[in-house]
Structure 1
């Protein structure tokens, strides 16, 4: 029997902890046997969980020593950092070959323990930038559902953690058992780790008070029209080279990248809040053609315009060929 241990820390998010426990606990072999033994452990007997309640935990950190898989769930913002004892226990478990996986911002705990150094990792897209800045030795991938480095795995949000758990079950026991576990969890089995997270892109940064502010407002008002680098530089009264350098200094990105993000954000808004066809939205957001719109939208957002609308719009999606 494979031992799966959930490591609970103060500020733990209940769903981030419960979802992996349930998917492993509900897994069955063809003969009905339970292949996983799921346990909960913590540094102290009581853990303060998000939502204002306390969990009583029977096992301490010694449970990590004989675990086959350790799952570190997400925690709320402002939770105390993991103690040296927790970090040492995780490092010791990893050193003996234990598989260790994190849910959402649980990746920060793995990074603090040094388990992600030199590895690819992901977390919820909202926290990906902070993870990258805090741990520059980690190769943060903000646009995937989960990352499997062999013995160290990280996942994005809580739903992506279920994809990661099903991936581990499939690796352990094969696709048939994993497919049955997916059905028990009412989940699709084939969402691969490389599938992008649905990232809601905020409006591109506009540095208020900068000399570029009028130009950026003008770009935002003219997204439906062709806006070239030369036109932007001319409007700013600079050469293209000087303008590009000044733009990057003040916005942290290039003029054309800023323009693409602005167009994608406009398209996202229209997909969520209008019944316009993909063809019309492509024109309104300034992509030139529906084909270019679909390609660039998918590259930035990670899915098609039609799939995005189906997921995020309360309106009935308007069918569009290839959308």
Structure 2
């Protein structure tokens, strides 16, 4: 399998090296164990002759070859982690040239993948419009605002939609690279993960800092403060709208734009977050904690934890 890694100026060092290290390790293990898996033919390509990483290291790059059906073109993140720096970076000539090259590559049959902030570069092409995708969790509000027609599933780590694959934040580069290895050989992917000590991370929702996302919008921030003070009480959309000084429709729209959730869904998320914190830091029983966050009993809380955080997590085991 041929994999071209597109390194733009300011490429995120960890992202670029993670992809290369995973694929190189896969080749080494396949050879060492005599696995019947064709090697990954990996090359680093760029839009300019000189490329430096976000930390200032030079990256030797080749010109992007003509598209070949079935190959993969992978876009790691660029090192602009906050909106005020990322938005102007996306307008750079080399980034816009990359977007044009990605469109041409896809038209030629190449499969495209992007991780973390690299998903913004892929979204600039318009190819993600109407498709499912994920992105780095803390930039999800900006992603929704900038690309409203993309069906964002930012709680997931890796999302495949047709010939396009996107992965979540930072070390999502590892998950994306392992996903590519798994296409060639699930056995080899499992071996690489074990050698590199990579746990299964099907979702990035467990890593999300809700406060960070909520503070991206004043209405959402007010709703969050109101909700946290009333987790043990019943939810009322009328009361919530009155508290934040907005109509119910405006409140619902802002939450959808920023968090991709309804007011009730976010309220439930805050309840679960609080319950998890209490499970970790207190000696209270599940039934006591359930009452503190507005649920009738520990059974209801256990069900919600399993649904929202995934079966097998330590917090669920703590419920017994």
TM range (shorter): 0.7 to 0.9
CA contact (8 A) 1:13 1:50 kept: yes
Shift of 1:23: 0.9
2:181 is aligned with 1:177: no
2:199 is aligned with 1:200: no
Number of equivalences = 295
TM-score where L is the length of structure 2: 0.76
Q: Which structure has the larger Rg?
A: 1
Shift of 1:163: 2.5
Counterpart residue number, 2:5:
6
Find the aligned partners of 1:100 and 1:152 in 2 and give their Cα distance: 5
Counterpart residue number, 1:314:
none
**Residues 21 and 66 (structure 1), Cα distance of their counterparts in 2 relative to 1, 3 Å cut:** farther
Counterpart residue number, 2:313:
307
CA contact (8 A) 1:146 1:161 kept: no
RMSD between superposed Cα atoms in Å: 3.7
Counterpart residue number, 2:54:
50
CA contact (8 A) 2:11 2:76 kept: yes
Shift of 1:54: 2.8
Shift of 1:196: 5.4
Shift of 1:91: 1.4
**Residues 227 and 244 (structure 1), Cα distance of their counterparts in 2 relative to 1, 3 Å cut:** farther
1:251-270 per-position Cα deviation (integer Å, ceiling 9, x unaligned): 74566445434423432443
Superposition pairs for residues 183-262 of structure 1, below 5 Å?
183-188=194-199, 191-192=201-202, 195=203, 197-198=205-206, 199-202=208-211, 220-224=228-232, 226-227=233-234, 229=236, 232=239, 246-250=247-251, 252=254, 256-257=264-265, 259-262=267-270
**Residues 262 and 103 (structure 1), Cα distance of their counterparts in 2 relative to 1, 3 Å cut:** closer
Counterpart residue number, 2:259:
none
Superposition pairs for residues 29-44 of structure 1, below 5 Å?
29=30, 30-31=33-34, 35-44=39-48
1:129-171 per-position Cα deviation (integer Å, ceiling 9, x unaligned): 2112211221111111111124210001233332232222222
Where in structure 2 are there 5+ consecutive unaligned residues?
256-261
Superposition pairs for residues 45-194 of structure 1, below 5 Å?
45-51=49-55, 53-62=56-65, 68-77=71-80, 78=85, 80-81=89-90, 82-172=94-184, 174-188=185-199, 191-192=201-202
The 3-state SS of whatever aligns with 2:210 is coil
1:34-85 per-position Cα deviation (integer Å, ceiling 9, x unaligned): 611222121223223222x132324123376698211100112225224343
The 3-state SS of whatever aligns with 2:205 is coil
1:167-215 per-position Cα deviation (integer Å, ceiling 9, x unaligned): 222222x322222222232224x655xx453223228969x999xx7x9
Where in structure 1 are there 5+ consecutive unaligned residues?
238-242, 311-317
